[in-house]
Structure 1
Amino acid sequence: MIKKILLLGMFATLGLGCKSPKAVTQESSKSEKKESDLKEYSQVITAKAKSDEGLFTTHFVDDKLYFEIPTELFEKDMLLVSRIAGVPSRFGGGYVNAGSKVNEQVVRWVKRDGNVDMKVISFENQSDEESPIYKSVQANNFFPILFSSKIETWNNDSTSVVIDASGLFEKEVDAINGISSSLRKRYKVKKLDNSRSYIESAHAYPKNIEVKHVMTYEAETPPDRDQAGTISMLLNQSMILLPEDKMRPRLANDRVGWFTIDKYDYDSEELKADDYEIIRRWKLVPKDIEAYKRGELVEPVEPIVYYLDPATPEKWRPYFKQGIEDWNVAFEKAGFKNAIIAKDPPSKEEDPGFSPEDVRYSVVRYVASTTRNAMGPSVSDPRTGEIIESDIIWYHNHLRSYRNRFMIEAGAQNPKARTLNTPEEEIGEMMRMVIAHEVGHALGLPHNMKASSAYPTDSLRSAEFTQKYGLTPSIMDYARVNYVAQPGDEDVRYIRMLGPYDLYAINWGYRFLPEADSAKEEKATLDKWILEKAGDPVYEFGNGYSGADPQSQRESLGADQIKASEYGIANLKKVVPNLVDWTSKDGYGYGELAEVYRELGYMWRGYLSHVVTNIGGVYETRKTSDQAGVVYEPVPSDIQKNAVKFLNEEAFTTPNWMLNQDLLGRIEASEAIDRIQSIQTWTLERLLKKDRLKRMITNEEVNAKKAYSSVEMMEDVRKGIFSELYNSRKTDAYRRNLQRSYVDIASAYLKELKERENDEVLKSDIMALMRGEMEQLKADINRRKNRVDHQLTRFHWNDLLARIDAATLNEI
């Protein structure tokens, strides 16, 4: 009898060993269920539940949101993308809009006894699992738990667990929070008000979950007084299943502009953790690799498809679709045909499951908003850089921006720009190119602000040149309207378009390289392509972030920024006298006139800024150590000196052309002086920034004979701004304001001696430079202040003396 029991036990054991792992898991799960004494499924997910099946099944039961998570999805990588879906008026000063991304992080759902944890996973630090250092990398990059919830129940066949996910969206979780620390401080946010925070919706799709939730914060100083001491915002959380079949990454190279992801390789043979970057791009694989190898154009296995938002007005749809498919010419350079496709939104009959929220669909969204902007965000796999999905955002009022800019920058040269009702062909072309620019971002390309400096400035006045090459080699530059063209320049192109750099960059990033077995093996080929273009400014990249390179600036045009700004201001001077006629409409006031005139002032300021950057400027040409020549080269002294001469004439001389009384008398009572002072002071502050002065002082030491010295620059500026003093003439109100600004800016440096806050400036030659300037100006005023027979001017000189004394006598 004992033997029979032992045999039965042995057969039972053998029988268990023959079961599938899934069966074992299910039995184990059922055992856990009994042991933990969980509720029955129907007691948790009741008949009142509003359910949606997809990646997870989501259930709303009363005021709770439940996730039903299949056990097969435990330990799977998912991308959690947090976006702002709705913001209060004037939030973030108007610069934080619906659609703004807050965070992007990889998460995994992990079962832990009777709980499920959501862990944040990082792929920044990497090591091969077989490498000895792998355990150390894991130990020193322990993954934090973002959210945890106990298991409420299992589904009927024990293949899924059910958790209450409400706490993730109703409580304040920093990693998905919509209010940054700076805005929290700005609005004096106290805490989250749980009673006014709730989940609005949850939808499940085959590859993603979308949850919208309202977060309400108590705030002492909300952006709008009507908000009753609160800030409420709508957040959207997207949880996206990342692909099992990982795309081969492509190593980045900063000589070609791409959005990138940082990585650290601990298996490197270098005597350090090898830091590198991979680019963000869509996964394009040829359908016929052999034909592709032969140089034939081949369609990709999965093309990039963009759907238009159903809200897109019918008359704009052709321009949007053209802007998307314009990129096919670039993909053809990479060996692909029909790589990117634009489609109208499907009808309910064609695709009843279509939703812009579904990660399977990339959509150009048309947003009814007063925001004047467009965006090209994308979602990418941080493991490989593969772009998973993208939603281009077009805000309706962006039309207004381009209508105004076209009038301001092309009105002098182009009769079609002399109306607020811009002809459809022109505004449609602008929309097309804005969409193409944003699609460029969504393909992985950042701004290339250096591109505009590749073309000779006067070439932009040529119809033959601009119609063939556009305004810049890259549509990813900010070169919106051809302000260089002058009246009489016939048939020139006014709107940007794709250029040779864009084709080059797409080929570099998307060309399929079947002969390589790894990202490292691709590098030699990719580097070779860069070296083939080295020295040609058409193929150079610069993001414009440093603020030091005049050849890499937003909104600038042409290789000669001074000449381009001369052309631009010449056009503005012709536009101002016509604005009343071009903006007036019978039966309406002058609101449009005021808006366009204000924006014209911003254009003037921008042209001045382009010139300022040349002073103390440094040209940057990105190179690797195998290329000859330096990376950084100071702007030649004659260009810098000419830039100061330009500023004295076009920035610091009273702009009487802006003071058109027929215009000003229709829009304001007395703001002209303040407006001009604001623009002139802004320009002067940029000119006298410490970083610029430090570069000039450094250059003097390195290139003593060739450099435009800081002392010489300050003297040239002083003699221009105070020309009335040196020529014994009276000053007008505009010049007095500018001269006060000059003294105040220089004095602010000296006052730092007393406050002792900026050690970097205190120990630099800037202090000696500013003290010397103030002493020289004081001496000059004392010698010349009584040479002019104008009482207010003499009072003004005495006021400046008092300001200088206050700065120089009391700084310590």
Structure 2
Amino acid sequence: MKKILLFSLAATFLSAQSISAQKKKKSKKGKTEQVAPAQKTKKGDIKNYSQVVTKDAITDEGLFKAHKVDKKFLYEIPFDKLDKDMLWVTRIAQIPTGLGGGYMNAGSKTNEQMVHWVRFQDKILLKVKSYNNIADSTKAISASVRVNNYEPTLFAFDIEAFSTDSTSVVIDVTNLFSTDVPAISGLSSRLRKTYKVKRLDPQRSFINSVKSFPENIEVKQDFTYSASEPSTLRSTESISLQMNQSMILLPEQPMQPRIFDPRVGFFTVSQFDFGSDELKADEKTYIRRWRLEPKDPAAYARGELVEPVKPIVYYLDPGTPENLKEYIKQGIEDWQKPFETAGFKNAIIARDAPTPEEDPEFSPEDIRYSMIRYVASTTRNAVGPSVSDPRSGEIIESDIIWYHNHLRSYRNRYLLETGAANPSARTLKTEPKEIGDMMRMVIAHEVGHALGFPHNMAASYAYPVDSLRNGEFTQKNGIAASIMDYARYNYIAQPGDKGIRFIRQMGPYDHYVTNWGYRYLTANSPEAEVATLNKWVLEKANDPIYKFGKQSSSFDPQSQTEGLGDDPVKASTYGVKNLKYVAKNLSSWTSDQTNNYDDLEELYGELLSVYSRYTGHVVTNIGGVFENLKTPEQKGSVYTPLSKAKQKESMQWLQDNVFSTQSWLVDNNILQNIDYAGYPENLRKVQARHLGSLLNADRIGRLLDAETTSKTYYSALEMLTDLRKGIWKEAYTGRNADIYRRNIQRTYIERMEALLTAENGRRSSFDVATSDVSSLVRGELKTLRSKLKLAKNGNVNTITRYHYEDAIAKIDQALDPK
């Protein structure tokens, strides 16, 4: 499935702009398309073929013949393609700035659905087909599944004509692709409401191109909507975007699925099997993976490395800068070693795209070709999407998208996170080979997604923190157990550490998960594989380098985005120590070299973000619960609260390294050269973010849970008491509060008031209204108010006294809003 046209290939397929200028089109075999002879009209409005597909028609051969006649677009559907399973994927090809609030970009998928074309009398229906609910067709219940899951009709078409040999039917698809059909639109109901979309403007909307390939048809639409509040250029009151519709023929025989195990990380597809012997509709979840089968099954069974029947091949966008091609290819083929662990050699291959002279029929939009797209965009990102068969999880194709400006993000992070211990990172002009190595690892990471692997956030927790200061260890093992973690750089290593690897690399988990998902098994059903797959998991179950941790976890200290090492407190201590060194030298590495402050401003903002990430890792410890997925045959509990000692240590770390004034972050040599105001606010925003995270109802709820599961626990009361005494330390010690402390203290009262007045809706884990939260908060505010009444009369300066009086008034208001 192809979404974004990056190639500068000759225009060999029809487009709305060029197609009308042609009179005839040569077929892909080089023969001129002949106009079909006339036939008699058989019934109603059905016309002769020659009346519909006229001599002026421009035709593209492929899955269906796609004709353009004047302003009409026609599909000629072979009868043997009716009732065939097809996947319809809707993606944004081009998008206006800011649409979706930064969470959408060119290439974003907006819908994916299975469809099939059905004849009903003199109409052809495009029906949406679901594989969510299934049953074996030989079982009686399959009839009930069918009638209780009636397929919606996406669009209905009159039959315009039959082919001269009566093997296909012609329909007009112009209205399908030129009107606002919600199921294939790029604007969800939420976006329409946000931007106050009124309607699709037909005068500014048109079909850009229709291209037919052997296994897919690609349609590009240019849509303009009237909208009162568009995301950009508001005076236009318009939203324009280009959509790409991909219709893909699925394999006649689905691949044998492999049953998902949550202890191993894979993207999945799910179905409910009503024909199961279970006393319910049995949910079956399968992993998403490419179909790899050995060319020589006997040799494979003997343990020899064997090439697959059909290897995974990625082609490089011809627009890729020459100096980066080597690293992109290496990133793709880094997965060859894990596939060798699974018994396959040359399972994944990188190639340059053929030139038009080498292969005039090659197109990046042809589903048969997977691409590494290089996008000339200021977006700082890379993505690795794929298209899979919802019946089996088989990955059909993928396009990995690299946005040009993404390397700047990596250069900046390299400087900020490793600059203290890594002299080569202390520059804006990073060595090309180091930039190439970074890109290689990002490509390997995105290829991993395209192979079916989600992020494994536990991989960075697998190694002891101090091992990342050991050159020999890091060179051999990298900085995390998997390339699929967000462990980009070694921010643990300290100045003077020798031989350190600073950039991530493939790890042992990548070999393990590839073998688990891709090793070819001769079992005759998915269920017959389960015993072998479970055995492989149990063999590795007690080794942290083979643990999978979900990215979605907000409570597990083992599974944190951007973390390193098995102790967040220790790791963040090293990280902050390095950041202090970088902050001290940031001007000399940037503005002193460029004679302007642009890079200094950019990097200072990103330094605050890095510091905030290190802080967040420690915050997760408080109320932290380890999640170790296991089956009943394995010993121990799945969920275990973090020890009281480690939680108290974390609270003290936050008081010392976050909530106390961090003067190193408010260096006037930086701030007074990049902004005219708002200096205290830079620090307050970071502090407020993490204070709010601590004073989160779910976190307090987990601390309350610990009272029922542990004899020694860090209670919610103890956490709130420690927090109060730390945030208001000046009131307890008789000292003056500086502006930074006054800011965080006011923020504390705001957050506590928010907890006190929280709505009585359910949170994810407990009911706030009936919990101890309000009583704990009320008690803490009353205790604080009493302390402040004493402190304001102590030996403090005027601004501190005013601040305490104001705080007392705010607490009174919070406790008694009336």
TM over 0.5: yes
The offset of 1:588, in angstroms, is 5.2
Once the two structures are superposed, the pairs formed by residues 669-680 of structure 1 within 5 Å of their partners are 669-680=676-687
Q: Which moved more, 1:221-230 or 1:373-382?
A: 221-230
Q: Pick from 716, 723, 728: which aligns with 2:729?
A: 723
Rounded Cα–Cα distance in structure 2 between residues aligned with 1:752 and 1:93: 27
Partner SS for 1:147: strand
Determine whether 1:268 maps to 2:249: no
Equivalent residue for 1:635? 642
Give the secondary-structure state (helix, strand or coil) at the position aligned to 1:553: coil
Q: Match of 1:776, as an amino acid?
A: T
Other structure's SS at 1:626 match? coil
Pick from 798, 802, 816: which aligns with 1:795? Answer: 802
Query: Match for residue 497 of structure 2?
Result: 489
Larger displacement relative to structure 2 (767-776 or 670-679): 670-679
Partner of 1:329: 337
Partner residue, 2:9: none
Change in Cα spacing, 1:284 to 1:227, as seen in structure 2 (3 Å) is: farther
2:292 aligned with 1:284, yes or no?
A: yes
For 1:338-349, list aligned pairs within 5 A: 338-349=346-357
CA contact (8 A) 2:370 2:398 kept: yes
Deviation track 1:628-671 (CA, whole Å, cap 9, x = no partner) reads 11100000000000000000011101110011111112111112
Structure 1 counterpart of 2:778: 771
In 1, Cα distance between the equivalents of 2:525 and 2:716? Answer: 51
Structure 2 Cα separation of the partners of residues 176 and 211 of structure 1 = 11
Taking the aligned partners of 1:33 and 1:501, their CA distance within structure 2 comes to 65
Q: Secondary structure at the match of 1:83?
A: strand
Superposed CA offset, 1:377-423 (max 9, x none): 00011111111001000000101110100010011111111111111
Contact 1:788 1:794 in 2 (8 A): no
| Residue 95 of structure 1: aligned partner | 103
Change (3 A) 1:145 1:33: farther
Contact 1:33 1:154 in 2 (8 A): no
Indicate yes or no: 2:632 matched with 1:625: yes
Report the TM-score, using the length of structure 2 for normalisation: 0.93
Q: Distance in 2 between matches of 1:761 and 1:337?
A: 56
Secondary structure of 1:651's counterpart equals helix
Please list the CA deviations of residues 268-309 of structure 1 after superposition, one character each: whole Å capped at 9, or x if unmatched.
221111112001100000000000000000000000000000
2:752 alignment counterpart? 746
Q: What's the counterpart of residue 719 of structure 2?
A: 713
2:203 aligned residue:
195
Q: CA deviation at 1:356?
A: 0.8
Q: Distance in 2 between matches of 1:32 and 1:796?
A: 92
Q: Find the counterpart in structure 1 of residue 27 from structure 2.
A: none
Q: Does 1:235 align with 2:243?
A: yes
Alpha-carbon distance in structure 2 between the residues aligned to 1:802 and 1:32: 90
> Which residue of 454, 463, 474 corresponds with 1:466?
474
* Helix, strand or coil at the partner of 1:251: coil
When normalised by structure 1's length, the TM-score is 0.94
The alpha-carbon deviation at position 757 of structure 1 amounts to 9.6
Q: Does 1:140 align with 2:148?
A: yes
| Paired letter, 1:712 | E
Are residue 182 (structure 1) and residue 190 (structure 2) matched?
Answer: yes
Distance in 2, Cα, partners of 1:286 & 1:410: 43
CA distance in 2, matches of 1:203, 1:677: 54
Task: Give 2:664's aligned amino acid.
Answer: W
> What secondary structure is seen at the aligned counterpart in 1 of 2:220?
strand
Distance 1:132 1:702 in 2: 48
| Partner Cα distance (1:802, 1:84) in 2 | 52
Deviation by residue 1:552-588 (Cα, 9 ceiling, x = unmatched): 0110000001111011100000001211121227675
SS in 2 for 1:161: strand
Distance in 1 (CA, whole Å) between partners of 2:245 and 2:653 is: 51
Matched, 1:363 2:384: no
Contact 2:313 2:350 in 1 (8 A): yes
Q: Structure 2 CA distance, aligned partners of 1:469 and 1:578?
A: 31
Partner deviation per Cα, 1:469-514 (whole Å, 9 max, x = no partner) = 1111111000001101111111111111111111000000000012
Instruction: Report the Cα offset of residue 37 of structure 1.
Output: 4.4
Specify which of 613, 637, 647 is matched with residue 654 of structure 2: 647
Q: Which amino acid aligns with 1:708?
A: Y
CA distance in 1, matches of 2:98, 2:730: 43
Is contact 1:55–1:207 with CA below 8 Å preserved after alignment? yes
- Give the superposition deviation at 1:760: 2.8
Alignment-derived partner of residue 5 in structure 2: none
Q: Secondary structure at the match of 1:134?
A: helix
Q: Which amino acid aligns with 2:325?
A: R
- 2:308 alignment counterpart: 300
CA distance in 2, matches of 1:305, 1:592: 39
Q: Residues 68-217 of structure 1: matches in 2 within 5 Å?
A: 68-217=76-225
Corresponding position of 1:9: none
Percent identical residues: 54
Q: Give me the whole-angstrom Cα distance separating, in 1, the residues matched to 2:84 and 2:795.
A: 81
CA distance in 2: counterparts of 1:65 and 1:460, whole angstroms? 60
**In the alignment, structure 1 residue 571 sits paired with structure 2 residue 578:** yes
Equivalent pair of 2:41/2:48 in contact (CA under 8 Å): no
Identify if the C-alpha distance between structure 1 residues 113 and 739 changes in structure 2 by more than 3 Å, giving closer, same or farther: same
The answer as to whether partners of 2:327 and 2:436 remain within 8 angstroms in 1 is yes
Residue 736 of structure 1: which of 719, 733, 742 is its match?
742
Residue of structure 2 equivalent to 1:401: 409
TM-superposed CA distance for 1:219, in Å, is: 1.4
Note the C-alpha offset of 1:360: 0.5
Report if the CA contact (8 A) 2:591-2:597 is conserved.
yes
- The answer to whether 1:478 aligns with 2:490 is no
Cα shift at 1:340 = 0.3
Letter in 2 for 1:363: M
Helix, strand or coil at the partner of 2:91: strand
Give yes or no for the alignment of 1:527 onto 2:560: no
Shift of 1:36: 2.8
Conserved? CA contact 2:39–2:49, under 8 Å: no
Q: Distance in 2 between matches of 1:33 and 1:731?
A: 91
* Bigger Cα displacement from structure 2, 189-198 vs 535-544: 189-198
Structure number having the greater helix percentage: 1
Q: 1:652-695, CA deviations, whole angstroms, 9 ceiling, x for partnerless residues?
A: 01110011111112111112211111110001001111110000
Q: What secondary structure sits across from 1:235 in the alignment?
A: strand
Q: CA offset at residue 226 of structure 1?
A: 4.5
How far does residue 789 in structure 1 lie from its aligned partner after superposition?
3.2
8 Å CA contact retained: 2:551, 2:561? yes
Aligned to 2:513, which of 505, 515, 518? Answer: 505
Does the 8 Å CA contact 2:205/2:224 hold for their aligned counterparts? yes
Cα distance in structure 1, aligned partners of 2:691 and 2:177: 48
Quote the offset at 1:95 in angstroms: 2.2
Deviates more, 1:229-238 or 1:214-223: 214-223
Give 1:752 deviation, angstroms: 3.5
Partner of 1:581: 588
- The 3 A distance-change label for structure 1 pair 796 and 756 is farther
Taking a change above 3 Å as real, the CA distance of residues 487 and 307 of structure 1, as seen in their structure-2 partners, is same
- Once the two structures are superposed, residues 298-324 of structure 1 have per-residue CA deviations (whole angstroms, 9 ceiling, x without a partner) of 000000000000110111000000000
Unaligned runs of 5+ in 1: 1-29
Distance in 1 (alpha carbons) for counterparts of 2:67 and 2:267:
37
Q: What does residue 601 of structure 2 align with? A: 594
What is the distance in 1 between the residues matched to 2:598 and 2:140?
70
Query: Superposed, which structure 2 residues align to 1:546-565 within 5 Å?
Result: 546-565=553-572
Q: Is the 8 A contact 2:52 2:161 kept in 1?
A: yes
What is the CA distance between 1:94 and its match in structure 2? 2.3
* CA displacement at 1:140 relative to structure 2: 1.0
Q: Give how far 1:447 is off.
A: 0.4
Structure 2: which amino acid aligns with 1:799?
D
| Aligned residues: CA RMSD | 1.6
The number of residues matched between the two structures is 779
The Cα of 1:129 is off from its aligned counterpart by 0.8
Task: Output the CA distance in 1 between the equivalents of 2:80 and 2:491.
Answer: 59
Corresponding position: 1:615 with 2:622: yes
1:203-241 deviation digits (Å, cap 9, x = unpaired) = 111110000001222211111135611111111000011
